[in-house]
Structure 1
Amino acid sequence: MADTPQTTGADLIPVASYARTSQDTPQRDARGVRNQHRINERTVRAHGCVVVATYTDNARNATKDDRDRPGFDHLLTDLHRGHAFTAGPLRGVVAVADDRLYRRPEDFIRFMAALTSEPGRVYVDRDGLRDPYSKGGLLRGAESLQGAIAEGQTRSRRVQDWHWSRAMDGLPHSGPRPFGWLEDRTTLHPVESVLVRTAIEDRIAGKPVGVIAGEWSALGITGTRGGSPSPQTVTQIITAPRVCGFRASRGVLLADPEAGEPIVGMWQVIVTPDRWRAACATFSAGNLYMHRGPLSPRLTGRTTGPKYLASGFLRCGGELEAGVSCRRSLGGSRSSRSSRSPYNYICNGAAGRGCGRCAISGPLVEEAIERLLFPADGQGKVSLPESIRLRWQSGEMGFDEKRKVIASVFSCLEIRPGKKGRAAWDHSRVVPVWKWADRVPAEPAV
């Protein structure tokens, strides 16, 4: 097979356009991915192809293995299926550069397997058409992968060194301002700093952190990103070493290499180190600021993650007022009331974070999701490959892979409130919000 496939006559090869950025613009206008799709359109016109479907991952990192890319996953699903919903057959993919598609060996293997799952496919970039089946095409892809890995490692080391140097100089953390300080991250916030100081003293005196979170909510206090205070966020705020002036990096308190004393930051402090340590002593180690987050040292060998299959995908459909739904995320919770429903998904009404009026059986939700993905008559909104259905229903597919399938198909699933006295499971309470809704036929009006 030739290294560069050729088109004949006026035939146009239908391809999918993929675009990805690691970060969005400050205006959050997705300009980067829009420009990539625009370049892809120009590229395919020059090489006898036409874009029939677009797939986008805006502000999605491709270097870290714990980052989801729903657009990429959906592209692979459609390549395996051979077509993109109603857009028709797919015979290739176009991207502005290989590293937009993959930066890890696992993703390179997944992409090549999906692209070459049928004969006659092409890969298009600004250099032209590439034959993914030939030795030359594979070598070019592997070279791009090697370059992307080296670039990612160099960039990661550079960023880590930059953060470490800032920390050793006692400079404040980058990112959103911490609760308790003004935008300069140095001067105390006149209201928030008093709340933090009072919360630390109250906690040392024995007050439950949930009560403190409730008091903050009653005062109308919100976090620096606009969220309502919860016991967990309050715990993180009052156990963060910054409250007493200590500087930490990647879950470790930094110390002067010569004197051995903790690095003291260049910002105003809220409490003394003794009061901070006293507050930390009231919590178990796993709740402390120093042992939370992806960069913090783990207390056990376990990795954090969702416990229940639909966690993070469900939204409350309870009505707050006329025409306004709650839309808060439903969390999973154990239940000992029923052997049929050992866990439920619940809208948390604590601390004003949700209406608290909507709950649904966990197994019911997951059964409804399976019916939506794999309808008995085969006439569903989406058509997943038969291999996926068999692996899912046979139990061969693992928990994480199932969540990726759900994420590739649904934006979320809205849970409608149940009716009192109704004993039978009502699958219609689970209302899907499909991804790529412009390619999924709308529900008929009732």
Structure 2
Amino acid sequence: MNQLAVREPTGLIPVASYARTSEDVRQRDGHGVRNQLRINERTAREHGCTIVALYSDNGRSASKAGVTRPGFDRLVTDLARGHTCDGQRINGVVCTADDRLYRRPEDLARFLAALTTLPGRLYVDPQGVRDLYSQEGLLLAVRALDAAAAETRVRSRRLSDWHWARAVDGVPHSGPRPFGWQEDRITLHPDEARLVQQAITARIGGKAARAVARDWCDLGVTGTRGGRPNAQTVTQIMTAPRVCGYRANRGELLLLPETGQPVLGQWDPIVTPAQWQAVCATFSPGSLYLHRGSGAPRLTENRRPKPRHLASGFLRCGAQHPDGTVCRGALCAQEGRSKRSPYVYSCRSCRRCSISGPLADEALERLLFPQAQGQVWLPESMRQRWRSGERGLEEKRKIIASVFTCCIVRRGVKGEHSWDHSRVEPVWRWADRVAPSGAIA
């Protein structure tokens, strides 16, 4: 190693501990990351290190493009500046394995750039201390990346083949119970199946999917995962091939090679194939289950709608899980129920945090342009153009993206009707240049 890592007065090297799991669908208690963090503690002790900061991403893939990993992002940010938000110096990282940190070349590049910003940093795993400054250490990191990528491809292919074989045999879909069937996914659920049949008949007769969703809400109907029905979910339920007994896989109906007829599933159908085809004909192709369901190719994939609200994409959930970790799921805009809040930002991950849309947007503006004297983050000319309406939504969002990494939204107090702008806490891109007093005015 080119230089020895700087030690604390205790003689121990301060390091950050990182843990990640790809899935937590069974117990949903974060036990995977907790176990990894415990192993990291043991590894740190064995190599003369002390853990000063914990970072984790529970149930987040590192191999899929577009998946955000807040814990990894914070780790990279703190490594690059050399200390945590509270000023604790970091001289290395401990992790259970390379593939917990990175499975994509861009993530490896980010991690290496951040770790080697200062000389003498350590990277420690159960196999020992790694020198990522040397050519040998870099080659080991690249080999680990290649191995992780190969493993991802093999696992993905095996999983696809497994799903395809089940589909050809007519085995019901895995995953959550489909609406309309019992837990065995074969026997019809009397009440839900009746609702689906009535909805399909009504839709063929000209009724809007939104109206069907309202009727279901009035009856107190909830989805199999507890959500309230809306037009999109009702459309997906009605147009899924399973309602007439057909089996599909990755957005395509499976056909018998001998006859060319659709593969029939092992479950009880709700309607006839003719009724299913009739109800599908009432929707545009982009709305059908075969174009929007699990694994289906998206017809609108290259035509994503532009954000309509100022804070869309910048807000993260600040609710705490039972194990003490912060959710940090994305808050998405959806329709509100009052004139004061015509839209709200809600967390789709834990569903325990939401905030008024206008309140969040106003809080962002207050963060950008503080009202207190002496607190100026952006030029006065920018403030004037912002307030005058000369800047459009897209230009305003670019300014926000240049200033904030994201904003954490704390949960509100039940029954509190006054607006609390301090619920929105910024994560600055240049945090080391912002005074701690830079709170919302």
Name the counterpart of 2:86: 86
Q: What letter is aligned with 2:63?
A: T
Q: 1:130 to 1:366 in 2, by over 3 A?
A: same
| TM-score using structure 2 length | 0.77
Asked if the contact 1:12–1:49 (Cα under 8 Å) also holds between the matched residues in 2, the reply is: yes
Asked if the contact 1:24–1:30 (Cα under 8 Å) also holds between the matched residues in 2, the reply is: yes
The higher-RCO structure (CA 8 Å, 6+ apart) is 1
Name the counterpart of 1:324: none
Q: Secondary structure of the equivalent of 2:16?
A: strand
Name the counterpart of 2:343: 346
Q: Separation in 1 of the partners of 2:258 and 2:128? A: 58
Name the counterpart of 2:21: 21
Name the counterpart of 1:386: none
Asked if the contact 2:246–2:265 (Cα under 8 Å) also holds between the matched residues in 1, the reply is: yes
Name the counterpart of 1:52: 52
How far 1:429 sits from its partner (Å)?
3.6
Asked if the contact 1:22–1:61 (Cα under 8 Å) also holds between the matched residues in 2, the reply is: yes
Name the counterpart of 1:321: none
| TM-score using structure 1 length | 0.76
Name the counterpart of 2:358: 360
Q: How does 1:215-364 map to 2 (within 5 A)?
A: 215-293=215-293, 295-300=295-300, 302=302, 304=304, 307=307, 308=309, 310-311=311-312, 313=315, 331=333, 346-347=343-344, 358-360=356-358, 364=362
Superposed CA deviations along residues 295-332 of structure 1, whole A, max 9, x for unmatched, are 322325516477256336388xxxxxxxxxxxx96626
Superposed CA deviations along residues 383-403 of structure 1, whole A, max 9, x for unmatched, are xxxxxxxxxxxx899799779
Q: Separation in 2 of the partners of 1:403 and 1:145? A: 32
Superposed CA deviations along residues 333-354 of structure 1, whole A, max 9, x for unmatched, are 8xxxxxxxxxx970499xxx99
Are 1:431 and 2:423 counterparts?
A: yes
Q: Secondary structure of the equivalent of 2:423?
A: strand
How far 1:80 sits from its partner (Å)?
1.3
Question: Pairwise CA RMSD of aligned residues?
Answer: 3.9
Q: 1:289 to 1:104 in 2, by over 3 A?
A: same
Q: Separation in 2 of the partners of 1:347 and 1:34? A: 33
Identity in percent: 49
Q: Separation in 1 of the partners of 2:109 and 2:39? A: 25
List alignment gaps of at least 5 residues for structure 1. 316-327, 334-343, 380-394, 420-425, 436-440
Superposed CA deviations along residues 162-208 of structure 1, whole A, max 9, x for unmatched, are 00110111111000000000000000001000000000000111111
Name the counterpart of 2:338: none
Asked if the contact 1:251–1:291 (Cα under 8 Å) also holds between the matched residues in 2, the reply is: yes
How far 1:277 sits from its partner (Å)?
1.0
Q: Separation in 2 of the partners of 1:224 and 1:20? A: 28
Q: 1:25 to 1:147 in 2, by over 3 A?
A: same
Q: What letter is aligned with 1:176?
A: P
Q: How does 1:59-98 map to 2 (within 5 A)?
A: 59-86=59-86, 88-98=88-98
How far 1:46 sits from its partner (Å)?
1.0
Asked if the contact 2:8–2:14 (Cα under 8 Å) also holds between the matched residues in 1, the reply is: no
Name the counterpart of 1:422: none
Q: Separation in 1 of the partners of 2:403 and 2:173? A: 33
Superposed CA deviations along residues 88-124 of structure 1, whole A, max 9, x for unmatched, are 0111110000010011111111111111122221101
Q: What letter is aligned with 1:360?
A: P
Q: 1:159 to 1:5 in 2, by over 3 A?
A: same
Q: 1:306 to 1:38 in 2, by over 3 A?
A: farther
Name the counterpart of 1:318: none
Q: Separation in 2 of the partners of 1:44 and 1:187? A: 53
Q: How does 1:343-422 map to 2 (within 5 A)?
A: 346-347=343-344, 358-360=356-358, 364=362, 366-368=364-366, 370=368, 377=375, 405-406=405-406, 410=408
Q: 1:366 to 1:14 in 2, by over 3 A?
A: same
Q: Secondary structure of the equivalent of 1:224?
A: coil
**Residue-pair matches, total:** 388
Name the counterpart of 1:152: 152
Asked if the contact 2:404–2:426 (Cα under 8 Å) also holds between the matched residues in 1, the reply is: no
Q: Separation in 1 of the partners of 2:164 and 2:374? A: 56
Q: 1:60 to 1:443 in 2, by over 3 A?
A: same
Q: What letter is aligned with 1:194?
A: R
List alignment gaps of at least 5 residues for structure 2. 318-329, 336-340, 378-394, 428-435
Superposed CA deviations along residues 392-416 of structure 1, whole A, max 9, x for unmatched, are xxx899799779921xx52568699
Q: How does 1:99-248 map to 2 (within 5 A)?
A: 99-248=99-248
Q: Secondary structure of the equivalent of 1:405?
A: strand
